[in-house]
Each structure stands twice: as structure tokens, then as C-alpha cells.
Amino acid sequence: MTTSLQASHVVVTPAVPEEKAILANLLELYVHDFSAFHDVEVGADGRFGYESLPLYWTNADRHPFLIHADGKLAGFVLLKKGSEFSGDAAVWDVAEFFILRAHRRRGVGCAAAHAVWRRFPGRWEVRVMETNQPALAFWQRTVSEFVGAIARPKALEKTGQSWYVFSFDSVPN
């Protein structure tokens, strides 16, 4: 699956089990970035870790992807079936999404998100913590471009955290 945008050739490919270490390394960078918006602590081993990562190769409702831009590793996306808010098992959820800083603001993230949404038609949700304003702006723009209209997230609360949730449909081509 290939999408081109702003001079970057963006390719989103399923991550195979042999690439688990690559995803684990990228997840460390992601969680470190995320720690600016959410209270996470590094473990005694100096790593944040990501407990659910092995499930992406054993659970049919989870899908790991690596993102490359101009032939270089640029990030990842982890998808899963099931809404974190409504409990709807048919909803696709962007569980985690990360673009390396060197590839941000070049259209790579937008192109990657659109490619994944086209690959999995159906109902989608994208969750953003209220405190993560840069992500909110990114998802507002990216979802709006995908649906062709201004996307308005719903403000929700779960376990004491405030979230914005974008809900939209991806239709088969």
C-alpha cells in the first residue's frame, strides 16, 4: 500500500514477527514523547515497555504496521478491533500511532493514516487525550481531509481522563 504526499513516498506495511524488536524500539520513543502528556514512568531496566505488543501477532483483531517514507523507517501504527468507549466490537481503533520527529510536518502521518483507513473499511475511532494538543490538531486535520468535511470530535471521560474521540466511516473503494 503506497501513498504519496508532499514529496514523500509513504509505504505502510504489516510488521512481521521478525520486526517485533523494531516496533519495541519505536514504542520506547513513542512512550517517551507521550510522557509529556501522560504520567508514565520508566521501569527499573530503563525502558517503558509495552505489555500488549506480543498480542499483535497472536490476536486476529490486532494489526501492527511499520511506516516508511522515502525508503526510511518513519514510524508505526497499531490497530485493533473494538471501541474503548462504546464497547462496539466492530469498530476499528487506532490503538497507537507514531511518526519519528524527522518525518513530522511533511504529510507522512496523514498519508499513513489514510492508507490504513482505506485498507480496513468500516467504522473507525481515533482517541486523543485532552492534554495532547499537538495530536488533537494532527487528528483533526487528518480525519477532516479523509472524510472531506470538518471532523468534530466528541469529548468523553474514561477512568478520570478526558479524551476527544473522532468517529467516522471508511468505505471500500
For the whole model, what pTM was predicted?
Answer: 0.87
Please name each of the domains of the chain with its CATH number.
Answer: 2-121 (3.40.630.30)
User: Residue 51: its pLDDT value, please?
Assistant: 83
pLDDT higher than threshold 90 for residue 42: no
Average pLDDT over residues 53-58: 93
The pLDDT tens digits of the residues spanning 116-133 come to: 999 999 999 999 988 888
Q: Which of 62, 80, 64, 172 is nearest to 124 (CA)?
A: 80
pLDDT higher than threshold 70 for residue 154: yes
All residues at 6 or more sequence positions from 128 whose CB lies less than 8 Å from its CB, including other chains:
135, 136, 139, 153, 163, 164, 165, 166
Other CB atoms within 10 A of residue 143 CB: 23
